Amino acid sequence: MLASRSFSRLATRSISTRNPHAALARSESHSGEDVLFHLGLSSADDLSQFRDVKYFLTGGSRGRIRSLANKVATTLPSHVTGLPFGASPTPIGSTDRYEMYKVGPVLMANHNMGIPTTAILLHEVTKLLSLAGADDPAFIRLGTSGGIGVTPGTVVVSTQAVNGMIEPSYDLPILGKMVKRDTTLHEGLAAEIIEANGGAVPLERGMTMATDCFYEGQGRLDGAICDYDEAGKMEFLNRAHAAGVRNIEMEATVFAAFTKQLGIRSAVCCVTLLDRLKGDQHPHSHEEIVEWDERPGDMILQYLLKSEAAAGAERAA
Ligand SMILES: O=P(O)(O)O[C@H]1O[C@H](CO)[C@@H](O)[C@H]1O
Ligand SMILES: O=c1cc[nH]c(=O)[nH]1
């Protein structure tokens, strides 16, 4: 079988950081090593096991990532995972802040909730993969979100991230100045994910809004503080919908901007747990929510299977 051209993985380039001061940081650490503080790893560890990483999958909840690691281990063929029959993945490094697993070429870690913890994870995982010499890994966020005018249970594959001002920008104060970064996601990777899904999981394309607050930032009326009314909330949600926003979560902007800056292919796939045009609280059953929570991961498993099959066929050709 010929490898699908869009899934081609043979022409690669190493992931790299963009920091001329990296050597200075090492000389300042007391042991001369580069410490990945929150992962509980450092450049003094044997990082060669990360060299073959081709996919980095992340999402907020540690339970979701643990369950995904087990699914990857049982779904991908053993010649890809390298795991002995029946072996389960175990966490790597410290599990205090993040829980990280590696199954063959798939690295997975939870990022917790919101932009700050996600930014820390992105910095440290990118340094880790760069130190290990990994080739062109794709970064994919698998999460939950509130939909806007979207049937609950649908996975939104983001075209672009926007901030809480409905602007396509990740804004970060650096050295006392506001720095704005582009939040466009990789078209080709999204197309491959959608093609691999083959209609199995209901999905839509659209912009994803990332806010700094689940309650006021997302225009909810059910937080502990609320200084606006239903009309103001609906005006905001309708304005976002008219701009092309189809879901709201809390990390897409930093994820898109960080990866874009370093030339890393990235995608954001978040299932919608409710339609915010119809309310603020989750009206669906626990069983439905649990099933929907798994959909982005199930979709990505199909992508991994197809991508690895294409890579294998290309190597054999
Ligand atoms: O389900 P995860 O991936 O955590 O994503 C969403 O859920 C959390 C809020 O409930 C935020 O992190 C938001 O982005
Ligand atoms: O409404 C929602 C649901 C999940 N995650 C969010 O950030 N918002």
At residue 131, does pLDDT exceed 50? yes
Average of pLDDT values for 239-250? 98
Whether residue 119 is found in the same domain as residue 202: no
Q: Is residue 23 part of a domain?
A: yes
Residue whose CA lies nearest to ligand 1 atom number 8: 113
Q: Which residue has the higher pLDDT, 317 or 212?
A: 212
Whether residue 156 is found in the same domain as residue 21: no
Separation between Cα atoms, residue 70 and residue 88, nearest integer Å: 6
Global confidence as pTM: 0.95
Domain boundary among 78, 100, 135: 135
**Number of domain units in the chain:** 2
Separation between Cα atoms, residue 118 and residue 214, nearest integer Å: 15
Beta carbon of 130 within 6 Å of any ligand 2 atom? no
The alpha carbon of 146 and the centre of ligand 1 are apart by a number of angstroms equal to 9
Tell me: the pLDDT tens digits for 16-50? 899 988 777 777 776 788 999 999 999 999 999 99
The alpha carbon of 111 and the centre of ligand 1 are apart by a number of angstroms equal to 9
pLDDT (0 to 100) of residue 110:
98
At residue 72, does pLDDT exceed 60? yes
Positive or negative, the CA dihedral 130, 107, 135, 158 is negative
Residue whose CA lies nearest to ligand 2 atom number 1: 146
Looking up residue 53, the CATH number of its domain turns out to be: 3.40.50.1580
Select from 107, 154, 39, 149 the least CA-distant residue to 264: 107
List the structure tokens of 286.
Answer: 């626990």
Residues with CB under 6 A from ligand 1: 59-61, 113, 143-144, 214, 249-251
Whether residue 154 is found in the same domain as residue 101: no
Whether residue 80 is found in the same domain as residue 163: no
Whether residue 34 is found in the same domain as residue 75: yes
What is the domain extent for residue 69? 16-135
Q: Is residue 96 part of a domain?
A: yes
ipTM for the assembly: 0.99
Whether residue 111 is found in the same domain as residue 238: no
At residue 208, does pLDDT exceed 80? yes
Per-residue pLDDT band for 14 (boundaries 50, 70, 90) equals confident
Name the residue of 208, 248, 255 to mutate for ligand 2: max ligand atoms within 8 A of Cβ.
248
Strand bridging mode 203-210 / 245-249: parallel
Per-residue pLDDT band for 6 (boundaries 50, 70, 90) equals low
Instruction: Using the atom order of ligand 2, give the atom closest to the CA of residue 220.
Output: 1
